[in-house]
Structure 1
Amino acid sequence: MDAKKRLPTLLEVLFVLVSFIVIMFLFVVQFGISIQLALLTSWFMIMLVGLRIGYSYSEMQDGILKGIYDGLEAVLILISVGALIGTWIAGGIVPSIIYYGLSIIDPTIFLLAAFIICAVTSLATGTSFGSAGTAGIAMMGIGASFGFPVALVAGAVISGCYVGDKLSPLSDTTVMTASLSKVNLIEHIKSMLFVSTPAFVISGLLFLAAGFVFHQGDGDLSRAEATMTSLSEYFNIGWHMLIPAALVILLLALKKPSIPVILFGALLGTVWAYLFQDVALLDAVNSLYSGNNIESGVPFIDNLLNRGGIEFMLSVIVLILFALGVGGLMEKIGILRVICETMLSWANNAGKITLSTLMSGFFGNFFGGAAYVSIITASKITEENYDRLNIDRRVLSRNTEAGGTVTTPMVPWSDGGVFMAATLGVSTLTYLPFLWFNFLVVAISIIYGFTNKFIWYTKAENDSTANQKEAINS
């Protein structure tokens, strides 16, 4: 490090973390100012500390740009999914999925069905964003028609989407975590099954029970029937409308690049809108950018289906760019490094090291605004401790996913949080209590750590234990 520069002190790090939380609270909760402006203001607060410890503005700007660059793939996916949502609604694809879903799914088991359908979709495609933007918005429409609270439906959808985002070998976060942790991909997935399987089963039972609690009898079916009637009046419904969805899921399952596949699906949506929904060609093409726009006279239908398009995602993209800038700044001036070194001295057993990894992942989402950032912070901040304690790196990779990937939709300004809120039409803090799978993954990981269950040790640890026993016997 340059002689004129130094690492921030713990007091300065604490100042940054507390100030960040205070700014968020005052802007968003107290005064109702946009969260984008809150994040932009945080840049300058962090820069003050950077100037104090010897960094120039140009150096900190480089940190901002690097943070944004590292997260640009998520931005491109947002743009692609926005275009896809707009054309799939205009093309009658989403309305058809909703229509057939209402006709075949029993309201009592709907929440469980939504959870499983989104889980299967995400496992097959490897993307939580793509799953939420396709199967997820359809499940939101079906759930609202059955009379379920939208926040609860969103919880089931997002919980299901993150099953695959965490476990699918096609998921970029799964591959990235295994790579950063230096663990074989299949071994990484096997290690996560010890946590994800009980979390999946318990979540499924909770959503099944919630279905019985919130099901309201005939009222649900009458609203569902009214929705089906309205959909059939304003869209041509047919099984052939599901072909684009099937093709996109198939291509993603074949591990084709997600961005071109999603954009190809969006293009199919424009073709379907022109061919089957009697939409003018220019209007069908424009739905890529502006989304769908109908005036059915039924507020519920208009609210459900007037969404999507690249334009629909612009405020979300700005939010993510500002959040990525915060993470880049913190990395540049050494705040993350100080947190790392502090945790290294504290985590001296399996329980504490698990907790430190989970906290590092959440910090990455909270202060870095992206799943990619959280995976890097969770794995790199704590990896030395796993080696020092001779804990197998499969435990590191598993805990990294638990602290990084699954906590992403819990943070209102992270890429996952803002995407899910914008796509499903439910604010992060509203759906947060119903992310049962995500919370269970975190809780089970902590339980395993402090009870030493499914915590594997390397040969060095086994040899050490054997030597200790031999010394005692002699």
Structure 2
Amino acid sequence: MTEPSSRRLPNALEISLLALAIIGVIFLFVHVLEMAIQLALLGCWFVMLGFGKYLKLDYGRMQDGITAGINQGMDAILVLIAVGALIGSWMAGGIVPNIIYLGLSVMDPNIFLMAAFFICMITSLATGTSFGTAGTAGVAMMGIGAGFNFPMPLVAGAVISGAYVGDKLSPLSDTTVMTASLCKVGLIDHVKSMLYVAVPAVTLSGLLFLLVGFQYGHGGSVGRATQVMEALAGQYQIAWYMLLPALAVIAMLVMKLPSVPVIFFGAVLGVVWACLFEQMPLVAAIKTLYEGNHIQSSLDFLNILLNRGGIVSMLEVIMLVMLALGLGGLMEVTGVLATISNGLQRWATNQGRLGLSTIFAGFLGNFLGGAAYVSLITATTITAKNYDKLGVDRRVLSRNTEAGGTVTTPMIPWTDGGVFMATTLGVATTAYLPYLWYHFIGLSISIFYCYANIFCFDKKKSKDEAPEAALEAE
């Protein structure tokens, strides 16, 4: 979206007042009037439209900004629809209940939290999708955690922490590939750079989940697990072949097949399993794709856990994501992001500030744009030229972009990641936020490396980045 160079950009005072107005609208709608966050974001649209008119922008240009912003997140919206359908049919077809049953039968409560973290990490590394991981292995881990009587926010923290290791690190992840491309760094070089942060962050996070797991994994929880297993066995058929759809989906994702059709195919397998093994009528099984699963168990918490999914469960999430993306588009077209970019470029005069500015720009993209895709674009476009100006290797840019963009996505309640995780796992963002230990540790390590000038590499351009980076620096 190209704007005329003569267009006046808002100044720092105007943006400060705008930020206060947006925060005020969100606080009024959500905390005072107790309305949905979607209405708050819609109110922010009107604040931004008024600001645009103040800058003498015509409505047509601002509407183009809205649609351009929403278009950036269409891939995520398609994944949301597919995962909603998959969760509904996998609940009805007994696939997720069988995973929960298997986990309860073989897992030690003392190591459960650490196991949940590493299982979700391995799944996301293999598949490259945090949403797919949370919607499959993550939902199962929530069920196992409930069976062991663990606090649900703590389990959600372990699940999301593990899921975002792969989202940030896997060569199969769309955000990993997108970041390498935006930063003009080779994909493998980008992954290797992130390992300097990921290895200590994963080690420390796993240790924390292990230590806390010992605190909660007392012997009394085994009785609850037995009760859950008996309820599942009474409600669903328990057998090894009930896990085949999950194995098939993971295998296809590992083979780098497109995630949306693969997840939809997995959802169809759930319908087939519901008909074949749970004796569900075909029409009722198909309806679970849209309406989700509905059972009546003797355990109330199991009803809450298993009665979920369906495309309809994602509609509020999709609406929120679209509104947040549209708000980000308005920020772009009114020049708000450009002004912030200019300010950060003047402030980032050393390597520590440079890294912090990239992480902040990524967070800002999530906060204002509501999606990881937006955050990756803002982090790179706002700060990339400064890396070349200060002679800092672009592998550091790509690493910091993932830290500020991808990692902070589930930490903000109205982003696509934040709303998806809260909806899918049944735990509010503010409740699981304190337990995102991988995220906090990774962010801290990234900032420390920048200020201490550790693992920041010599400025040696690779074949992948040299020509483009040189042009960017001019």
> Normalising to structure 2: TM-score of the pair?
0.96
The residue that corresponds to 1:171 in the other structure is 173
Give me the whole-angstrom Cα distance separating, in 2, the residues matched to 1:371 and 1:21: 21
> Following the alignment from structure 1 to structure 2, what is the Cα–Cα distance between the partners of residues 9 and 29?
30
Q: Structure 1: any 5+ residue segments left out of the alignment? A: 461-474
Report the alpha carbon displacement of residue 372 of structure 1 after superposing the two structures with TM. 0.1
Assess if the C-alpha contact under 8 Å between 2:411 and 2:429 holds in 1: yes
2:401 is paired with a residue whose SS is helix
Match of 2:28 among 20, 26, 29: 26
Cα distance in structure 1, aligned partners of 2:246 and 2:335: 45
Counterpart of 1:405 in structure 2 is 406
Cα deviation, residue 47, structure 1: 1.0
Alignment of 1:205-244 (within 5 A): 205-218=207-220, 220-244=221-245
Between the aligned partners of 1:446 and 1:296, the Cα distance in structure 2 is 48
The one-letter code matched in structure 2 to 1:65 is T
Q: Residue 40 of structure 1: SS of its match in structure 2? A: helix
Q: Determine the structure 2 residue equivalent to 1:141.
A: 143
* 1:5, distance to aligned residue in structure 2 (A): 3.6
Matched residues in 2 for 1:214 and 1:130: separation?
28
Residue 307, structure 1, aligned to residue 303, structure 2: no
CA contact (8 A) 1:354 1:446 kept: yes
Q: Distance in 2 between matches of 1:146 and 1:311?
A: 30
Q: Partners of 2:430 and 2:77 in 1: how far apart? A: 22
Which residue identity does 2:291 align to in structure 1?
A: S
Residues in 2 aligned to 1:348 and 1:35: alpha-carbon distance in whole angstroms: 38
Paired residues of 1:350 and 1:455 also in contact (CA < 8 A) = no
Equivalence for 1:117: 119
- Partner of residue 297, structure 2: 296
**1:153 aligns to 2:155 (yes or no):** yes
Could you tell me whether the CA contact under 8 Å between 1:147 and 1:216 is conserved in 2? no
C-alpha distance in 2 between matches for 1:22 and 1:41: 10
Contact 1:12-1:49 within 8 A present in 2 as well: no
Q: Does 1:416 align with 2:417?
A: yes
TM-score (norm 1): 0.96
Number of the residue aligned with 1:470: none
Amino acid at match of 2:302: I
Contact 1:87-1:284 within 8 A present in 2 as well: yes
Is the CA contact 1:91–1:271 (under 8 Å) kept in the aligned structure 2?
yes
Is residue 439 of structure 1 aligned with residue 440 of structure 2? yes
Question: CA deviation digits over 1:103-155, x for unaligned, max 9?
Answer: 00000000000000000000000000000000000000000110110000000
Looking at structure 1, the residues matched to 204 and 29 of structure 2 have their Cα atoms a distance apart, in angstroms, of 37
**Residue 264 (structure 1) aligns with:** 265
Report the alpha carbon displacement of residue 370 of structure 1 after superposing the two structures with TM. 0.2
Secondary structure of the residue that 2:405 maps to in structure 1? helix
Task: Single out whichever of 18-27 and 93-102 deviates more from structure 2.
Answer: 18-27
What displacement does 1:301 show? 1.3
Deviation at residue 459 of structure 1 after TM alignment: 4.8
Contact 1:5 1:54 in 2 (8 A): no
- Count of matched residue positions in the alignment of Structure 1 and Structure 2: 459
Match of 1:363 in 2: 364
CA apart distance, 1:295: 1.6
Query: Once the 2 structures are TM-superposed, how far is the Cα of residue 28 of structure 1 from its aligned partner?
Result: 1.6
| CA deviation vs aligned residue, 1:182-201 (integer Å, no higher than 9, x gap) | 00000000000000100000
Identify the residue that residue 429 of structure 1 maps to in structure 2: 430
CA distance in 1, matches of 2:31, 2:210: 34
Query: Unaligned regions of 5+ residues in structure 2, if any?
Result: 462-474
CA contact (8 A) 2:161 2:437 kept: yes
In 1, are the aligned partners of 2:231 and 2:298 still within 8 Å (CA)? no
Query: 1:13 Cα shift?
Result: 1.2
Q: Distance in 1 between matches of 2:424 and 2:32?
A: 25
Distance 1:400 1:92, change over 3 A: same
Task: Name 2:277's counterpart in structure 1.
Answer: 276
Letter in 1 for 2:365: G
Are 1:4 and 1:54, in contact at CA under 8 Å, matched by a contact in 2?
Answer: no
**Residue of structure 2 equivalent to 1:463:** none
Q: Give the letter aligned to residue 14 of structure 2.
A: E
- CA separation in 2, counterparts of 1:439 and 1:4? 41
Partner of 2:469: none
Name the counterpart of 1:194: 196
In structure 1, the residue matched to 2:472 is none
Letter in 2 for 1:67: G
Q: Percent identity among equivalent residues?
A: 59
Q: Secondary structure in 2 aligned to 1:405? A: coil
Deviation at 1:27, TM superposition (A): 1.7
**In structure 2, how many angstroms separate the alpha carbons of the residues matched to 1:170 and 1:415?**
20
The letter of the residue matching 2:441 is: L
Distance 1:459 1:117, change over 3 A: closer
Distance in 1 of aligned mates of 2:207 and 2:344: 36
- Report the alpha carbon displacement of residue 409 of structure 1 after superposing the two structures with TM: 0.1
1:176-223, Cα deviation, whole Å (9 max, x unpaired): 0000000000000000000010000000000001101122322x0111
* Shift in Å, 1:300: 1.3
- Aligned residue identity for 1:112: M
CA–CA separation in structure 1 for the residues paired with 2:149 and 2:192: 38
- Secondary structure class of the residue paired with 1:200: helix
Q: Residues 134 and 3 (structure 1 numbering): CA distance in 2 closer, same or farther, change over 3 Å? A: closer
2:382 — aligned with what?
A: 381
Cα RMSD between the aligned structures? 1.1
Corresponding position: 1:129 with 2:160: no
C-alpha distance in structure 1 between counterparts of 2:342 and 2:253, whole Å: 40
CA–CA distance in structure 1, aligned partners of residues 326 and 296 of structure 2 = 39
Find the partner of 1:105 among 104, 107, 113.
107
Q: Distance in 1 between matches of 2:92 and 2:79?
A: 20
Once residues 108 and 143 of structure 1 are traced to their aligned partners in structure 2, the CA distance between those partners, rounded to angstroms, is: 11
Choose 46-55 or 107-116, whichever is displaced more: 46-55
Q: Distance in 2 between matches of 1:142 and 1:188?
A: 35
Picking from 62, 65, 68, the partner of 1:66 is: 68
Instruction: Please point out which of 80, 83, 90 is paired with 2:82.
Output: 80
> What does residue 91 of structure 1 align with?
93
In structure 1, what is the Cα distance between the partners aligned to 2:350 and 2:6? Answer: 37
In the aligned structure 2, how far is the partner of 1:410 from the partner of 1:155?
Answer: 11
Deviation digits for residues 328-363 of structure 1, max 9, x if unmatched? 100111100000000000001110001000000000
Q: Give yes or no for contact 2:121–2:164 (8 Å, CA) kept in 1.
A: yes
Distance 2:342 2:246 in 1: 47
**Helix, strand or coil for the counterpart of 2:458?**
coil
